[in-house]
Amino acid sequence: MSLGNMCRKDVVTVKPETTVNEVTKLMEEKNIGSVVVKGEENKFGIVSDRDIALRVIGKNLDPAKTPIDDVMTQNIVLILCENLELFEALELVRKSAVRRFPVVDVDGNLKGIITLDDIITLLGKEMAESIDISGKEIAKTLILEAGGSYMMAVLPAFRNINFNYLEEQIAAKGLRLAEEDEIKNLFRTVK
């Protein structure tokens, strides 16, 4: 399935001249953590609640007077095309240090947005569908490692699951199951 079918299509957009105050009110009203700033000629920016905290509050700027254009991320690291498949997108996403990605059509028009969390959830569902289902379903959490970043995927596990096949599928996607020591260290650093 392509990203165009999986992305969130109800993207909240604002114009570059919108003030930070207006954007934060919109984010609160819609209960979202980011908005896409849509300029002319399919030019995009993105601003998150973290950007506002660091670039406005942290620098003592006046949110009532500061246009969002002054604090948004203008050079978006990665914009994904709607015709990409999930695993193609994952390959691009895992190389970036970004969590939110605009999705555009072949002409560059905004079609939606997809987050790293969305991709991980979809990956878990797609991997689960590729497993031969037999026996009683049990929730299983896998910690996956990709390029030094760790991701958690919750997958259905089954009594008669072929773990060699599962590991082959994970490796084919450029991932690997994290070792037990890595997982323990990861949770120690989170505490």
**Phi/psi of residue 127, each to 5°?**
-65, -40
Task: In the chain, list all ranges with CATH 3.10.580.10.
Answer: 3-115
Q: Which CATH number is associated with domain 3-115?
A: 3.10.580.10
Q: Is the pLDDT of residue 191 over 60?
A: no
HSE-CB at 85 with a 13 A cutoff on CA atoms is 5
Are the CB atoms for 40 and 118 separated by under 8 Å?
no
DSSP conformation class of 10: -
Residue written as tokens 């991701």? 151
Q: Mean pLDDT across the stretch 127-143? A: 50
81 or 137: which leads in pLDDT: 81
The model's pLDDT over 33-72, given as tens digits with 9 standing for 90+, comes to 899 998 887 778 899 999 999 999 999 999 999 999 999 9
Q: Is the pLDDT of residue 133 over 60?
A: no
The whole model's pTM is what?
0.61
> pLDDT above 90 covers what percent of the chain?
26
Q: Is the pLDDT of residue 89 over 60?
A: yes
Q: Mean pLDDT across the stretch 139-165? A: 54
Residues whose CB falls within 8 Å of the CB of residue 63, separated by 6 or more in sequence, listed in order? 19, 20, 21, 24, 52, 56, 57
Q: Is the pLDDT of residue 76 over 60?
A: yes
75 or 155: which leads in pLDDT: 75
pLDDT class of 103 with cuts at 50, 70, 90: confident
